[in-house]
A and B are shown apart, each in its own frame.
Chain A
Amino acid sequence: MASKFWTQGGSDTEEEETDIEDEIENGGAGETAAAAAGSRYLQTNASDSDDSDGQKRVVRSAKDKRFEEMASTVDQMKNAMKINDWVSLQESFDKINKQLEKVMRVTESDRVPNLYIKCLVMLEDFLAEALANKEAKKKMSSSNHKALNAMKQKLKKNNKQYEELINKYRENPESEEEKFEDENEDEDEDESGSELEDPSQIAAESSDEDDEGEDMDDDDADGAWEKKLSKKEKLMDREFKKDPSEITWDTVNKKFKEVVAARGRKGTGKFEQVEQLTFLTKVAKTPAQKLEILFSVISAQFDVNPGLSGHMPINVWKKCVQNMLVILDILVQYPNIVVDDRVEPDENETQKGADYDGTIRVWGNLVAFLERIDNEFFKSLQCIDPHTREYVERLRDEPLFLVLAQNVQEYLERIGDLKSAAKVALRRVELVYYKPQEVYDAMRKLAELSEDGETDGDETKVEETRGTSAFVVTPELVSRKPTFPENSRALMDILVTLIYKSGDERTKARAMLCDIYHHALFDEFSIARDLLLMSHLQDNIQHMDVSTQILFNRAMAQVGLCAFRVGLIAEGHGCLSELYSGGRVKELLAQGVSQSRYHEKTPEQERLERRRQMPYHMHINLELLEAVHLICAMLLEVPNMAANSLDAKRNVISKTFRRLLEVSERQPFTGPPDNVRDHVMAATRALCKGDFQKAFDVINSLDVWKLLRNRESVLEMLKAKIKEEALRTYLFTYCSSYDTLGLDQLTKMFDLSDAQIHSIVSKMLVNDELHASWDQPTRCIIFHDVEYSRFQALAFQLTEKLSILAESNERAVEARFGGGGLDLPLRRRDNQEYAPGTAGGGGGRWPDLSYNQGRQGSSGRAAYTGGGRPLALGQASRDRSGQSRGTGGYSGRAGSGMRGSQMDASARMVSLNRGVRG
């Protein structure tokens, strides 16, 4: 299609050298044609179909079908009008509206088909007629009359949207009619030939512009085009429909100022403005001017975005990226042009031509534009339904942005603006950090492919630019294809190093979190942990913005998963437990909105939350996360519960897990496990009995394991851990039933080697968890039955109280001497439900989380070591005091009772005494 156009376009320029208008149009069309060709190629490549025509044909037939449907509805309406049947007319009207939607979807445009407008006009006329004819109205049946009135309302409302089009149609129904016929003919050979009525909408259809150019060839169509131009466009044309030499810097500048001034004014079409500005870029006289206008084009393109929550139309986005690349081309070509947004440049700065030696300052901010483009990309991914093709297509645009970011970064580095370069680098990092190597490779491949596709466009472009020598020509200096290192780690390292060197605080923190995430993704737990601890991010994450906090949560989740994969259960639990403590994982990871039963969110909050959501392809699988968290909790909690069986409420490692276990124990019948939770609970029940095989089988049957890359080794590790914990649980639970226990017996029971059992049991002995000793000659464990007297138990209890008191005293002192100690939770040790870093940190911003605020401080510090907290010291004493607590409770009550009665006694004396004196 493009080539066909090119041959024609070429002949045009030869034949009518003077028709500058035509030429310009060709120029514009050519550029977009290149893009269109490229993108179309990209699409077909991507969809893995070698036959691009086939795809096209499908689209066309669907479109035709829709149009046919619409036409038949119009016929129906005509029939209904003839017999004055308003009821059926109303039905048809509803139908046609629905069909209109479909048609719009098929044509992927927001232009309304002419057929529809025609129908509207017809209806309007008929309605007016019907209303005027009062006699006929009286004669109508009641249902018909009602329908007439309803129709009147509907039509009025509906037609408002299309007022302009209707008026236009009314002005010259003939040409429209004629053209409509044309269109239908065109459609057979060209899918978008029908789209040349409204110039204000042309901008939206970048890929179709070439076809318009085609139609310009014959005078007839040209005339029709002229007629339909809006006033402004006409003016513009008149001005520039001159010899190229007559267009001066002044005229362009004047026009430019005029267009820019209209920005944001009521009645200024956004698309129109983009179109006008784009046109101006083509006639710009100096590179600087072109640059200035390009900046305005991009701003105008941002304006197209309907609102904060909606995203920019995708084709506009793509054009925007292209414009940015052109800007870079200019900047690279003329190194003396400086882009700056701090100083207000001279009015006539842009007049200085390409041969001017000194620096030319142009207002603009590359980084801000780039960030905005990235945000729009992000937003569009948020909005698009991830289960559609559209989403995948959108994801394909990622390399496009990466090219731009890479080029901008290179440029900034060249001019020495490292701070901005770091910002751009962060944007790149944020597109790469969550990708495992496989995904990264896929992206690289895609980038290479799309680059092949684009070479076509490049060639044609060069060819085309020859024609417009009178204006500023910008050759493509900046490479249009991204270069990726072999593996993503290398890329991350390059970018992150740059950021660490020259980024600001927030950039550095975010880059650090991405870095941590990426390390964790690649199973490098120790590096991720060291980075996390050395950066002290946990301490001050609560002071950062919500999106960074979400990133922190994501990094923590990933570190937790990583710890699990490499077999560090306690660490994994430490990282994940806080995410799960509030039951708001979705919210904390921004992977969906969780409904709270107790707290109604205001629409404002809801909107904010929706804007924070992560696009689907960045999600961390929640099921896997939950499975890992619960399994970690199970491995830690089951032996712990067995060790403290006398007093279950003390020394809780995972509250979430305990609660789930309680719920599952309350069930009268336990069915076969259904979801992740059920699986883990079933495994827990088996593990409590020391049945490791069953526990492992249940866990092994989970589906989520297929998401792991090194599934076999992880499951192997898991099995070993389960065995170990089963052994520990068994020893804790049944040690009181044994006097001695043979090593061989244990080996047989738990399928572990002698050495393993020996080491596990010895560890328990050393930690004072098990009161026993080894008898080496007989290979037995001899259990000691130790019981403490009440007095001893009380003494233990007292020491515990004292240590708590001492701790809080210490904190008070710390607070006095300027530590942030008071923010610490009151009982750090027992405190399993510290607020997650983000949640708490955002306390002010997320109002429903504010109750966590006091505890945040620790969440950071304690969070990490959560699993391997230095509990060992206090543990033994707590165990013992735990055992005797049952009896302690009684005496406590008795004591207070006595004190109470004494108080009564002394209180009574007062009144007595008064009695005396009185």
Chain B
Amino acid sequence: MANSMARSFLQVAATEEVASPLRVVQIEGLVILKIIKHCKEFSPALVTGQLLGLDVGSVLEVTNCFPFPIREEDEEIEADGANYQLEMMRCLREVNVDNNTVGWYQSTILGSYQTVELIETFMNYQENIRRCVCIIYDPSRSNQGVLALKALKLSDSFMELYRANNFTGEKLREKNLSWVDIFEEIPIQVSNSALISAFMTELESDTPVKQCDYDRLQLSTKPYMERNVEFLIECMDDLSMEQQKFQFYYRSLSRQQAQQQAWLQKRRTENMARKAAGEEPLPEEDPSNPIFKPIPEPSRLESFLVTNQIANYCNQINGVAGQNFNRLYLMKSLHDN
């Protein structure tokens, strides 16, 4: 079941070409189920967990995972969390499970995961593990009858820029990096051992309709849409904020330039006078002058992330709206009959 589901999702996801040597994330069915279970149980709250596995060539195999406990904001307990993680790893090694960290998973709501924090976490992981992924699971979307599972990694060019912490317009143009290129999505492959596959076939019921098919026919998608629009509005506000920052920057920049021009003009006339008087002209650059201090350009990272987020919401709305129309037509024809 999970297999067929994953494929349908993959078909959507695989449209993006993966440039890195990391081609595929191969996940054990067991891991997926564990993730789904963990995320769904704590559904409104957001949870995270560790992914364990092996890095084999262009394939990253995820063979096991364990959840992190939910904690309150507290220093001591945080230390406990670290201990828990270490302890957990030790235990798993003892029972001879793969205990290489290959990434982490986290749940999200309506795909609102594109934050600076995520990127920071990624950078931290990537420092230690060359290949790592983040698997994002969206329980609310799964309610619609799809497997909302995504494997993400940061693109190399973005990481380079991020390390230099240089998100000026010039650099971005140089790198030809746009907002689409921050994250890379890696196709997910679900692999099961032959025994499990056999067992699953055995378990499969005779009826052609399954639970998730019923889910797909659910008509009340309004709350979902509403939430999406709400988030979208919020993003718009954020984007406006970013834009204001830029406007402010440009305004101060133009003011500074005007000041510089005025200063230069003054200096030039002064120099002319000095030349006429036979003195050494003064330099036309004065680094000590505060008006020549460059104004730092605001980072574009945030606006890129917000744009990503907006694209995400829009895709979701588009998808859901399209499906909804189908359902409504279906209902209509059923009704007519």
Interface residues of A (CB under 8 A from B): 790-791, 794-795, 797-798, 801-802, 804-805, 808-809, 811-812, 815, 822-823, 826, 854, 888, 891-892, 895-896, 898-899, 901-917
Contact = CB atoms under 8 A, between A and B. Distances in A.
Nearest to B237: A801
A794 B73 contact: no
Nearest to B235: A801
Given A798-B233, A812-B243, A907-B121, 8 more contacts: A804-B240, A811-B247, A895-B112, A895-B231, A903-B117, A905-B48, A911-B81, A912-B82
Interface in B45-103: 45-48, 68, 71, 73, 78, 81-83, 85-86, 89, 101
Contact of A902 (B113, B128, B247): B113
Interface size classification for chain B: 35 or more
Given A791-B225, A895-B227, A902 B108 contact: yes
Contacts of B89: 916
Contacts of A916: 82, 85-86, 89, 101
B160 to A, nearest CB: 20
A801 B46 CA distance: 28
Given A815-B250, A908-B48, A912-B82, A891 B230 contact: yes
Given A891-B230, A903-B115, A910 B120 contact: yes
A895 B48 CA distance: 19
Nearest to A789: B222
A812 B246 contact: yes
Contacts of B121: 906-907, 909-910, 913
B67 to A, nearest CB: 12
B259 to A, nearest CB: 13
Scoring A791, A895, A903, A909 by chain B CB atoms within 10 A of each residue's CB, the highest score goes to A909
11 contacts: A798-B229, A805-B239, A805-B240, A805-B243, A823-B251, A892-B230, A892-B234, A898-B112, A904-B73, A905-B48, A915-B85
Given A808-B244, A822-B247, A899-B115, A798 B81 contact: no
B183 interface: no
The 6 closest A-B pairs by CB, nearest first: A915-B82, A801-B236, A902-B46, A794-B229, A903-B117, A906-B117
A822 B109 contact: no
B196 interface: no
B237 to A, nearest CB: 7
B226 interface: yes
B232 interface: yes
A805 B112 contact: no
Given A903-B115, A906-B117, A911 B82 contact: yes
A29 B226 CA distance: 96
A803 to B, nearest CB: 10
A905 to B, nearest CB: 5
A802 B239 CA distance: 10
Contact of A794 (B230, B251, B254): B230
Nearest to A794: B229
A912 B49 CA distance: 11
Given A891-B230, A913-B101, A906 B48 contact: yes
Nearest to A916: B85
B44 interface: yes
Contacts of B236: 798, 801-802, 804-805
B85 A912 contact: yes
B154 to A, nearest CB: 13
Given A892-B230, A909-B121, A898 B247 contact: no
Interface string B112-124: 1101011011001
B234 to A, nearest CB: 6
Interface string B279-313: 00000000000000000000000000000000000
Contact of B240 (A801, A891, A910): A801
Nearest to B125: A913
Contacts of A804: 236, 240
Contacts of A795: 229
Contact of A906 (B45, B85, B106): B106
A791 B222 contact: yes
Contacts of B46: 898, 901-902, 905
B104 interface: yes
Contacts of A891: 226-227, 230
A570 B45 CA distance: 53
A363 to B, nearest CB: 29
Contact of A826 (B106, B232, B244): B244
A797 B233 contact: yes
A909 B120 CA distance: 10
B50 to A, nearest CB: 8
Nearest to A898: B109
Contacts of A794: 226, 229-230, 233
